[in-house]
Structures are given as C-alpha cells and as structure tokens.
C-alpha cells in the first residue's frame, strides 16, 4: 500500500515533532489535528522553531524549510482531518479512555483503506485496535522524544494486526529516516520503556530518600553508565506525567512491584511540575 497523505492527531510535545518528520523527511502531505486553533498554532510555532534550528546548523536549506511548511496543513475538524488520510498517527494524551474515544471516531470517518497507528508508550495496542473497528489495520508506532532527532521507532503488533499493516508502517518509518523494530507481541510498555521504567523509577526513589541530589544522580549515570543524559533530566524531557502513566500501566498490567512509581512522582504531577513543558520538574526550565 502506498502512503501519500498522513494525518497526525495532536499538536503537542510528540505530535508536532511527528508531523514535522513526516513532512520534512518523508515528504508526505500532512494534516495536523487538535482540539482548537490555539493548540495547533502552538504546534506550528514549535515546528517553525525546530526547522529554523536545522537551517542555522546548515542541516537543511531555506528552500527545504519552506517546502516542509508547505506540506503541513491544519484542521480542528476531526472528520475533515482524516478524510484523505492513508495513515493516521495518534499522538494525544496517554489516557486509554480518551484515545479509544477519538480513535473510534477515526475508524468511522476515515476511508476504508486508512491505517491507524498509535504513538502510545504503554497502552495495549489490541485494545486500541478494537476501538478503531478495524483492528487488522491498527498498530503501534512509538516514536521517541524528540521525534526530529531520535532514530528509533517501535512498531507494535496488536492481536489482530495484519502483516501488511506492520510492513507498510515499517516502510514509512524507514522513509522517515528511522530505524524501526517490530514488537511481536502486545506487551505493556513494549521494549524500551519496559527496560527504562525501573531505572528511571529507581533514580526518583534515590532522590526521594535523599541519597543524593538530582544533579549528582544524573552525573553518576552520565559518567558511570555513559548515558547521554541523566535519568532525572530525561524525565523532565519525557514529561513526568507521561512517565507516571507508563509506570502505573506496567504495575497494573504485570503486577510486578519493580515498576511501582515513587510517591514523589505522584506529588510532582499533582503540583503540575511535569518537566520542561510546564517550566518546572526536577530542574527549572525558564522557557517552556
């Protein structure tokens, strides 16, 4: 199946980056959908800022900058946004009820051939696929933050995902300049977050128990484990609310206590200290 038109649901932290990659690297015609024009305008501003940084680094030309923006369209009307889509990539809030509600509408509105991929980092693809009404055409397509730079994409099979769907999404990922892996079973949090979540949680426990300061915990992992970024700073980039959601899904689905989140994580979410996107997390971020 040939993909020409891609719709990205969500203009936020991940959505705007995925849309940019689809337009910039994939040369796809892209529609970004979100709930209101303010959210979409914020997403477009982030795309323009990101493209400007590529221009300043001489990674792309001014012509490529303009061509990329010309491929991106916007819509606050969900039916309009998906009417010509060959592939819909959902990148909305990590909440099962909201995702299944939106994707249920997509399944009814999009053309019969349209594939539906979710950027979820932990939620069951089988359950998401069932909500679309076309589970054979649904899969996970998990990008990493920031999508413009991170090369990995996890492609996750649901119980009823067709082989053709997986192969088409794999080819799209390669066209985007990514290195895809296929997660053969619909397991909670897939591969990377299954490995990463306990490590990030342990860093938060160390901080909560006052074993070391945040900067020293991060320095230990950067210098001792050769991590490019310490775990607490990474959590600020991921979004502390997103990580808490992943931890809770893993705890509930597996029953394994190694995934149990620290109370400190819950308190930070309640205080809206979510990381870079709110300006305050384990560190202060003057510009959101």
Sign of CA dihedral 136, 16, 111, 36: positive
| Residue 100: its H or E element | helix 96-109
| Bridge-based pairing state of the strands 138-143 and 152-156 | antiparallel
What secondary structure does DSSP assign to 203-214, as a single string? Answer: HHHHHHTTSS-H
Active site residues: 121, 142, 154, 193
Mapping DSSP onto H, E and C, the string for 221-276 reads: HHHHCCCCCCHHHHHHHHCHHHHHHHHHHHHHHHCCHHHCCCHHHHHHHHCCCCEH
Distance CA 21, CA 37 (A): 21
The DSSP letter of residue 137 is: G
């Amino acid at each position: 199946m040939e993909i020409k038109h891609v719709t990205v649901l969500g203009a936020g932290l991940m959505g705007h980056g995925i849309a940019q990659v689809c337009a910039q690297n994939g040369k796809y015609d892209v529609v970004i959908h979100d709930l209101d024009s303010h959210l979409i305008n914020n997403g477009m501003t982030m795309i323009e800022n990101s493209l400007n940084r590529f221009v300043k680094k001489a990674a792309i030309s001014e012509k490529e900058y303009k061509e990329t923006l010309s491929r991106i369209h916007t819509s606050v009307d969900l039916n309009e946004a998906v009417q010509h889509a060959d592939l819909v990539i959902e990148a909305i809030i990590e909440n099962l009820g909201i995702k299944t509600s939106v994707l249920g509408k997509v399944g009814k509105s999009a053309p019969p051939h349209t594939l539906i991929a979710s950027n979820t980092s932990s939620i069951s693809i089988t359950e998401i696929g069932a909500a679309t009404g076309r589970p054979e055409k649904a899969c996970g397509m998990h990008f990493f933050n920031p999508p413009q730079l991170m090369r990995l994409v996890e492609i996750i099979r649901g119980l009823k995902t067709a082989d053709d769907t997986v192969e088409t999404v794999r080819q799209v990922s390669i066209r985007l300049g990514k290195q895809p892996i296929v997660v053969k079973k619909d397991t909670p949090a897939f591969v990377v977050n299954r490995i990463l979540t306990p490590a990030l949680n342990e860093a938060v426990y160390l901080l909560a128990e006052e074993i070391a300061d945040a900067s020293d915990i991060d320095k230990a992992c950067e210098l001792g484990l050769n991590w490019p970024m310490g775990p607490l700073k990474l959590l600020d980039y991921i979004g502390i609310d997103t990580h808490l959601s992943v931890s809770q899904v893993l705890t509930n689905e597996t029953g394994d206590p190694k995934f149990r989140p620290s109370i400190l994580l819950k308190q930070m979410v309640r205080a809206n200290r979510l990381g870079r996107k709110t300006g305050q997390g384990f560190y202060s971020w003057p510009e959101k």
